[in-house]
Structure 1
């Protein structure tokens, strides 16, 4: 069975579970190319803190949508959706299989599922953000409640509050009307990696420690000179905000490490909740023997079923 005969493959799950390595192995075994779906790996220079695969770790497998943004640019789900689907088509044209790899839940859904994404208008967004700064979130939340009560009940942070009001102004439709459906746009198999919670916590602590040993503080220092602090998306990446505090004298390295470990564990918990809610994901434990073989069998069985 060749790559051209196989469905799109997605490797998903929480950070630190081994998605990158499995994606490369499956691409090698099945004749595939990797498409990145980790929103922080879009950024040039954000390598250590995002555990971006090195050239050696990629093992000759083409990787797409890595290093496509400067840290001052804002990541866009809509832009990613278009770029990922273009990558899928181009990979298919070469007779190969797209292997989507990443743990950014909405980005994965945007690439794989039926999902209409409303456009943006920088002027409208800036006006709403200015009002948020001047009047606080209470006034904006009440406005959203009047026009879109379902979104008002679900939106938890100011960024999504602004986005929900922007969507309403631009489309006249509630933000929730654009939520993804669990319907793949083309045949797809999702492989999820999950490990025991305590084991994952240990893995994440070791991972953060290794990043720091490899020079995370220096990487943040270089990126700060390139405008990391001004980056609306990049500055929120795990480890980067914490080490900006070190550079600015607000935290010690030890405090930044601990804060990064805590934030990473929380993020992993949210990722696990997101992906566990999708019944289409085939879950595997990366600690069990024969991981790649088991994943290949799942993909080939799905292809045989059509």
Structure 2
């Protein structure tokens, strides 16, 4: 029988309620949380990531939140190494690690122990690519790796440029450079299932709430301090408001775009997660709790 440490993963689309579910599981099973979100790693990105509404954890720690400044680069490999370190520390304290988030590649890198390529930045290549618009970048990536392009956020120029950078250095495809390593942990992946109409309603309501609580001022402050081209400013919820901050668009136009792109992102998240047949989908805390009980009970018996 497997003696690998057991880890619970709670995943789903943005606004699906996965953070609330993970918190309840952490309380129920003596757990601590590890964030798998490519936006919440950045300090200062609070309202637009719903980070400020998650400050109800009380005594439940959550790792990999606010660990880098907005002008710093952050990669899947860095996240994976940091997540494994946090998980090992949680296990040593006799707690249950619960990974929660919606960044699919982060979660896959951990669950499948992907051996990710170590490719340093190529400043000259980046300079050339940054002169292209988003459609030209996406087309460049599709020509290099059509299948790999489907797994990249084609609305995020930095993600596209990084993918092209890796392919330029190593050749081949992105998939072949993400090799499976030996399993380190055993996982229960719990997916939060929400009806699409309800999910879109939540996305609209949350966007309006973020604006009401000062998202525009937060983006303006970040742009003033770090610049509109800082890595963090490509994050969903931030890049959509930059034109408004710069006076190129009206706020109402930026909010419409924010809602539209968030819904598109949610659909891409669900497409990504639905490909993994190991995920146990749930619509309630009770279902998730029962799955966790069975999973952790097995761990205790073996």
- Sort the TM-score into its range (normalised by shorter chain): 0.7 to 0.9
2: CA distance, partners of 1:173 / 1:190: 30
Select between 63-72 and 242-251 the one with higher mean Cα deviation. 242-251
Decide whether the 8 Å contact of 1:13 with 1:272 is kept in 2: yes
Specify the alignment match of 2:234 in structure 1. Answer: 236
Aligned ranges 1:206-285 → 2 under 5 Å? 206-232=205-231, 234-285=232-283
Seen in structure 2, the aligned counterparts of structure 1 residues 133 and 246 have a Cα distance that, compared at 3 Å, is: closer
Aligned ranges 1:117-136 → 2 under 5 Å? 117-122=116-121, 125-132=122-129
User: 1:242 Cα deviation (Å)?
Assistant: 2.0
Specify the alignment match of 2:88 in structure 1. Answer: 89
2: CA distance, partners of 1:183 / 1:203: 39
Seen in structure 2, the aligned counterparts of structure 1 residues 94 and 276 have a Cα distance that, compared at 3 Å, is: same
- Secondary structure of residue in 2 paired with 1:198: helix
Specify the alignment match of 1:186 in structure 2. Answer: 185
Seen in structure 2, the aligned counterparts of structure 1 residues 247 and 93 have a Cα distance that, compared at 3 Å, is: same
1: CA distance, partners of 2:95 / 2:234: 35
Name whichever structure is richer in helix by fraction: 1
Seen in structure 2, the aligned counterparts of structure 1 residues 153 and 100 have a Cα distance that, compared at 3 Å, is: closer
Would you say how many aligned residue pairs link Structure 1 and Structure 2?
292
Specify the alignment match of 2:22 in structure 1. Answer: 23
Deviations along 1:209-264, whole A, 9 cap, x unmatched? 111111111111221222151212x1122221222211111222211111111111
RMSD: 3.0
In the alignment, structure 1 segments of 5+ residues that lack a partner are: none
Decide whether the 8 Å contact of 1:24 with 1:58 is kept in 2: yes
Specify the alignment match of 1:33 in structure 2. Answer: 32
- TM-score w.r.t. the length of structure 2 is 0.85
Seen in structure 2, the aligned counterparts of structure 1 residues 96 and 172 have a Cα distance that, compared at 3 Å, is: same
2: CA distance, partners of 1:165 / 1:259: 26
Select between 207-216 and 170-179 the one with higher mean Cα deviation. 170-179
2: CA distance, partners of 1:74 / 1:183: 28
User: 1:204 Cα deviation (Å)?
Assistant: 0.8
- TM-score w.r.t. the length of structure 1 is 0.84
